[in-house]
Structure 1
Amino acid sequence: MKHTRHTLKNGMRAHLIPFEGTDAATVFVLFKVGSRYEHAAINGAAHYLEHLMFKGTKRRPNTLDISRALDAVGADYNAFTSKSWTGYHVKADAAHLDLAVDLLHDMLFHSKFDKAEMDRERGVIVEEINMYRDNPMMRVEELLEQEMFAGSPLGWDIGGTEKTMRTMTREAVLAFRDAYYVPERGVVVIAGKVDKGILPLLERTFGKVARAKKEPSPHLPAAIPSSSQKIRLNVENKKTKQIQVALGFPGYPIGDPHAPAAHLLSVILGGTMSSRLFISVRERKGLCYFIRASHQPMEDTGVFQVHSGLEAARLKVAVKTILAELAKARKGVTARELAEAKENVRGRLRLNLEDSSERADWFATQELFYPKVKSPEEYLAVLSKVTAAQVKAVAKELLDPSKLTVAAIGPFKDEKEFKKRAGL
């Protein structure tokens, strides 16, 4: 895939990814900061800042000025926060590329952070927190990571808590912004209908941002669970007809040579409608509507997860079936399964990369978190060399019952009741 890497005068990195067949372009700005970089009193600050960037700048004084400028050209725009990064994107007709660059730069480095506006947004975020907590399918994954990484910020919710959102000060939030929204920790990527003629504008905008005065505090290391004969549980009592269950194991970090094999293992186990878990749990026994497996690498660890919504009356059978499939995976995968998983990843990636936003996301993530920027083609080449023996070795290491953490949401008065009904 054609792309060029550039370093602006202040050290901020930029990637241009031109491709034919589109009249649109995506501008994506990513910063290496998320909720795991926070301390307890400001848990939720990274996500809070993401919201506040849309509330007005000196040149565009309020949120309507920002949204109207983008809506007037039919742009698609959004932002998102994870535990490790925060990203902002604008996708628009390439004829309005200058506007997208200028507006993102203005938002990210010239926002006013009006106190009244900030206080109003606190309530918005509290309602967002409530929304996620009222959605068991989303909430159970938060509970899983709370238990897996208990004792470190990686186990905290990205949105923070109602208490931290109500009490963190404007000064603390801006100090967090000043520490991490710096050229050294950011990358701007433009994908779609773009050429090097955009570079002078990038220099006049993102290239003018002042360098960091000092290195910000690194995130605390993940509290990775050790082996235990006792299953780690996090159960939330909620009156539901369907039981949300997530089973998690510590995974591999970003850049680990075992991560590609873990990716393929997740596809074989629960990445498709022909995967082992989907066939055994849903198709053969009718125990669920959805079930999936995934491997998510993080900066210093990862999460290998199986997540499903299960029929309450046959919860024990469902959990037993899932655990049996995990045990079976530790004995190996077939040549056919491996070949099909590789082709599945290749095909999905090709489809995703039809979108300029996906291309921008790929190179931004590679730039900030990987030791070397790999193109999609280079990643697929690495994936193609993974052997069945390597997948088996990864399965034996990852799917170790002594490292299992389980989170669940359903009508259980306590963990003891869940364990009994789930057969654990």
Structure 2
Amino acid sequence: MPEFTLDTLANGLRLLTVEMPHLHSVELSCSLGVGSRHEEPQLAGISHFLEHMLFRGSQDYPSSQDLESRFEAIGGNINAATDAETTYYHSRLHPDHVGDGLQLLASMLQRPLLSDIDTERKIILEEAQEDLNQEGQVISPDLLMNSLLWPGSPLSQPTIGTLESINVIDATALRTYYQRYYTPPNTVIALAGRIDRNAALAAATEAFGAWSGPAVEHTSPPNIGPTAGPASIWVADTDSQLNLQLAFRIPGRHHSDTPALRMLRRVLSGGGTTRLMQRLREGLGLTYNAEAHLSLFDECGSFAVDLSVTPENLLPAIEELLRIFEELTQEQVGDGELARVLTNYLFELEFSRDHADLLSARYGWGLTTGFLRSLEDERQESSSLRPEQLLRAAKTHFTAANLHLVVVGPYNKEDRKQVEQRLTAYCS
């Protein structure tokens, strides 16, 4: 049985079906090719605002309670998320009610009321406050790092928008944005679980076949200028710990080094035997947890490490973290370590076959972003990696020019001076 099947309706909407007959549920997801990087600066956050508004009701279900209670009645709990490049809606359903779930989703997408904007605005403003301290300063390491990595780009703006932009988004702007991006050719529906492909196609055609709209003309993103690292941002804030994010700017997901960078992330993070946990936690006791992340966009990305430390552990933690990256640029990952990490990853890929939500998200997001990767693609690509490829990728991308640091919390000036000196000396 293939991992998935792909059908395209006459109106351009794409349907992915993952047949998992042993399950007792179906995961329904919808990915649209629109996110914060498609926004004008004065309307930053409108993708996320619009996502919220679709839960406010449709012509068929005129309130959020009407809509959500109908999903609950068929085993569902509709939710959504917005990122830089996509907007994603999803719900688990009972297999006997997949057609009902598709009809509900179709009502949300095709016939939203976009009413009660001011109430939703209050909710979003409350959400935005979570990234600010009492003085109105941004204290989210992710947002601060984005401003370092992508200066002048929409990627540097919060996905949720700013307090100023959220306050100026109105009904006209929402309706215009909706009409531009919420079209069938810009939409991917994925169904994973106890579902038959033919039944899924018939139900999707009934729910979405009459929907019409043009293909979205995405303009090429503006070139993001180079950054002159090492660079850092420091925000003083009252807390018992410092929140740190150290990141290297890297190429986008289509770059030939992406597989090696993915594996390097797993060398650093993902289990108790990985380097970050062994060195920073088990060996030195500097932090409770350290996690590496890979964020990959179409043409750019970042390789980041997040951790929290007490003020007295700031200097030794930064020193050890930089030493770990320097070692990756100077020494090959051993065959035994790479084999252990690879085996764990291959098991993880195999385990994902038991999770309809993971498969629905993987294939739906991949098709929406033009980076559709099957589990078998990942298995073969990862299994072919060699230590010299990881070393070459580390040498190329873990450079001082690509190095950035964010520190939020109760730091002192002397520690900041010493950390900045160590950043300057990185890989020298």
Question: Deviations along 1:149-183, whole A, 9 cap, x unmatched?
Answer: 11100111000011111112221122111111112
Given that 1:145 and 1:154 are in contact with CA atoms closer than 8 Å, whether structure 2 keeps it comes out as: yes
Unpaired stretches in structure 1, ≥5 consecutive residues:
none
2:73 corresponds to which letter in structure 1? A
2:282 corresponds to which letter in structure 1? E
Question: Deviations along 1:262-316, whole A, 9 cap, x unmatched?
Answer: 0000110223211112111111111011101122211111111111111211211
Given that 2:29 and 2:91 are in contact with CA atoms closer than 8 Å, whether structure 1 keeps it comes out as: yes
- What TM-score, normalized to structure 2? 0.92
2:165 alignment counterpart: 164
2:403 alignment counterpart: 404
1:418 alignment counterpart: 416
2:212 alignment counterpart: 210
Q: Which runs of 4+ in 1 moved over 3 A?
A: 132-138, 214-217, 419-424
State the number of aligned residues: 417
Given that 2:18 and 2:193 are in contact with CA atoms closer than 8 Å, whether structure 1 keeps it comes out as: yes
2: CA distance between counterparts of 1:52 and 1:294? 30
Q: Secondary structure at the match of 2:47?
A: helix
1:25 corresponds to which letter in structure 2? V
- What TM-score, normalized to structure 1? 0.93
Given that 2:149 and 2:404 are in contact with CA atoms closer than 8 Å, whether structure 1 keeps it comes out as: yes
Seen in structure 2, the aligned counterparts of structure 1 residues 273 and 131 have a Cα distance that, compared at 3 Å, is: same
What pairs up with 1:17-96 in 2 under 5 angstroms? 17-96=18-97
2:358 alignment counterpart: 358
1:10 alignment counterpart: 11
Q: Secondary structure at the match of 1:323?
A: helix
1:217 Cα deviation after fit: 4.5
Unpaired stretches in structure 2, ≥5 consecutive residues:
423-428
Q: Secondary structure at the match of 1:251?
A: strand
1:224 Cα deviation after fit: 4.9
1:233 alignment counterpart: 232
1:343 Cα deviation after fit: 1.5
Seen in structure 2, the aligned counterparts of structure 1 residues 77 and 169 have a Cα distance that, compared at 3 Å, is: closer
Indicate whether 1:346 and 2:346 are aligned.
yes
Q: Secondary structure at the match of 2:226?
A: coil
Quote the sequence identity (%): 23
2:416 corresponds to which letter in structure 1? F
2: CA distance between counterparts of 1:240 and 1:381? 46
Seen in structure 2, the aligned counterparts of structure 1 residues 34 and 231 have a Cα distance that, compared at 3 Å, is: same
1:422 Cα deviation after fit: 6.4
Indicate whether 1:184 and 2:185 are aligned.
yes
1:45 Cα deviation after fit: 0.3
1: CA distance between counterparts of 2:180 and 2:396? 38
Given that 1:6 and 1:13 are in contact with CA atoms closer than 8 Å, whether structure 2 keeps it comes out as: yes
1:381 Cα deviation after fit: 0.9
Given that 2:74 and 2:101 are in contact with CA atoms closer than 8 Å, whether structure 1 keeps it comes out as: no
C-alpha RMSD of matched pairs (Å): 2.1
2: CA distance between counterparts of 1:219 and 1:46? 18
Q: Secondary structure at the match of 2:123?
A: helix
1:105 alignment counterpart: 106
Seen in structure 2, the aligned counterparts of structure 1 residues 369 and 51 have a Cα distance that, compared at 3 Å, is: same
Seen in structure 2, the aligned counterparts of structure 1 residues 216 and 2 have a Cα distance that, compared at 3 Å, is: closer
What pairs up with 1:277-356 in 2 under 5 angstroms? 277-331=276-330, 332-356=332-356
1:88 corresponds to which letter in structure 2? Y
1:254 alignment counterpart: 253
1:220 corresponds to which letter in structure 2? P
